[in-house]
């Protein structure tokens, strides 16, 4: 504006070329201003377009200033996008490395599309990574028919699927439906029962080897040390009374450790060679009375009050000797749980429901600690120094051989072991 006014003034005082030069400068300034504004608008437009299209590949750091919130917003969204992409890559990598077939469907209008199929599903069932549910039907009709039949609702069942026209394999099918941000998803998981069984068997073998190696080392290590000491003693020219006493103590120690090993092996044989139950119809009250009579000396010794709430009307179809052994094991555990209690009580009750008989043995002892609650039925696990750790395991195996189960819980401040027997 100053240049224009100065050019007009020069024109009024009869200067000819100076005003023309001034107007030329103004014209160039206007063109430069236009280009500058245009570049700013284009830059803003590109930034906003990138945000809208979720494209964060551009770099606007050289244009960023403390006065410009748009570029700062772009950087914030870009960092969040990079973080989300990283999470997606990690989650996808995890899903692709899981030995479980996973397929996630997304509903779009009335059709279902395949949102995600992990590598295990694609490889194990030999199907390409389709995008449409209808294409998968031609490759895995058995699976798709079950899902279609239940109208894409929650499913938990077993299913036999033939792969490449080979022998069919059994899978555990679990499916659930969920809605996220108004998007409908259906998640399908397929686990090979063989893989599940092999995994459980491996875990069982590892736990068993730990127990056996622990017990063997606890006995063999001191026996070896004692044998070495005895060897040193017998190699002497003469033995003193003190040496003879050492030999005597060493032999006694080896006998104790050998007895412990023998009991351990006998306990393992009991678990491994449990005979099939020889069932017959017996009166439950008579069986319980026999068990209580066997345990009665210990009850008197520990001053325990025992309450038998079982009536004579209950009968069960069981192996009487095996069930008696279970009752004795549970009563023995109850006696141990009452060691630190002043008013000691044990009660036995029975309840019949829907072709099932529930026998409850409860005590008012200290109960089972949460830390070991899941371990009490494991072989050779015990909290008693003199215990073998097979009582509860043997009891569990006996009841399961009868087609029932045994469990424990806390009920009204008491520890309750419950035996469930199913009437055939």
Checking if the pLDDT of 66 tops 50, the result is no
Average pLDDT over residues 352-372: 80
Are the C-beta atoms of residues 234 and 203 closer than 8 Å to each other?
no
| Max avg pLDDT among 72-81, 165-174, 317-326 | 317-326
Checking if the pLDDT of 385 tops 60, the result is no
The proportion of the chain whose per-residue pLDDT surpasses 70, expressed as a percent, equals: 77
Dump pLDDT digits (tens) for 331-354: 888 888 888 788 888 899 998 887
405-411 and 414-422: which strand pairing?
A: antiparallel
More confident of the two residues 67 and 314: 314
For the chain, domain boundaries: 1-97, 98-193, 197-272, 280-422
59 burial (CB, 10 Å; 0-12 / 13-18 / 19+) is exposed
Average pLDDT over residues 59-86: 70
Checking if the pLDDT of 282 tops 60, the result is yes
When pLDDT is cut at 50, 70 and 90, the band that residue 315 belongs to is confident
Output the CATH code of domain 98-193.
3.30.450.20
| Max avg pLDDT among 161-175, 194-208, 364-378, 405-419 | 405-419
Mean pLDDT, all residues of the chain: 78
Q: What angle do CA 67, 73, 75 make, to 5 degrees?
A: 105
Checking if the pLDDT of 267 tops 70, the result is no
183-192 and 101-108: which strand pairing?
A: antiparallel
| 280-422 fold | Heat Shock Protein 90 (3.30.565)
């Amino acid at each position: 504006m100053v240049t224009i006014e100065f050019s007009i003034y020069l024109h009024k005082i009869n200067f000819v070329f100076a005003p023309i030069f001034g107007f030329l400068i103004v014209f160039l300034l206007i063109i430069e201003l236009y280009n500058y504004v245009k570049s700013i608008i284009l830059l803003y437009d590109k930034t906003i377009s990138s945000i809208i299209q979720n494209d964060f590949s551009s770099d606007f750091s050289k244009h960023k200033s403390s006065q410009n919130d748009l570029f700062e917003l772009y950087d914030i969204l870009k960092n969040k996008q990079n973080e989300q992409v990283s999470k997606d890559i990690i989650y996808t990598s995890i899903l692709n490395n899981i030995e479980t077939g996973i397929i996630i469907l997304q509903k779009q209008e009335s059709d279902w599309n395949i949102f995600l199929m992990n590598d295990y599903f694609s490889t194990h069932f030999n199907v390409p990574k389709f995008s449409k549910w209808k294409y998968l039907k031609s490759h895995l009709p058995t699976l798709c028919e079950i899902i279609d039949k239940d109208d894409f609702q929650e499913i938990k069942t077993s299913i036999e699927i033939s792969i490449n026209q080979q022998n069919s394999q059994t899978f555990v099918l679990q499916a659930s439906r969920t809605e996220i941000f108004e998007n409908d998803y259906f998640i399908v998981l397929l686990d090979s029962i063989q893989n599940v069984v092999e995994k459980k068997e491996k875990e069982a073998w590892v736990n068993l080897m730990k127990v056996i190696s622990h017990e063997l080392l606890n006995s063999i290590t001191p026996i070896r040390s004692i044998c070495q000491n005895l060897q040193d003693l017998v190699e002497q020219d003469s033995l003193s009374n003190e040496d003879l006493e050492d030999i005597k103590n060493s032999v006694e120690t080896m006998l104790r450790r050998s007895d412990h090993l023998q009991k351990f092996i006998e306990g393992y044989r009991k678990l491994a060679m449990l005979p099939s139950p020889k069932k017959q119809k017996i009166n439950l009250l008579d069986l319980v009375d026999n068990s209580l009579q066997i345990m009665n000396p210990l009850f008197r010794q520990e001053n325990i009050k025992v309450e038998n709430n079982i009536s004579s009307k209950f009968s069960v179809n069981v192996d009487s000797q095996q069930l008696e052994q279970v009752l004795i094991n549970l009563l023995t555990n109850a006696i141990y749980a009452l060691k630190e209690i002043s008013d000691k009580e044990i009660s036995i009750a029975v309840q019949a429901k829907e072709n099932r008989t529930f026998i409850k043995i409860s005590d008012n002892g200290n109960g089972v600690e949460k830390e070991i609650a899941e371990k009490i039925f494991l072989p050779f696990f015990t909290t008693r120094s003199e215990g073998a750790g097979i009582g509860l395991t043997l009891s569990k195996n006996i009841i399961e051989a009868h087609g029932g189960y045994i469990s424990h819980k806390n009920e009204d401040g008491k520890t309750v072991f419950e035996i469930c027997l199913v009437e055939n």
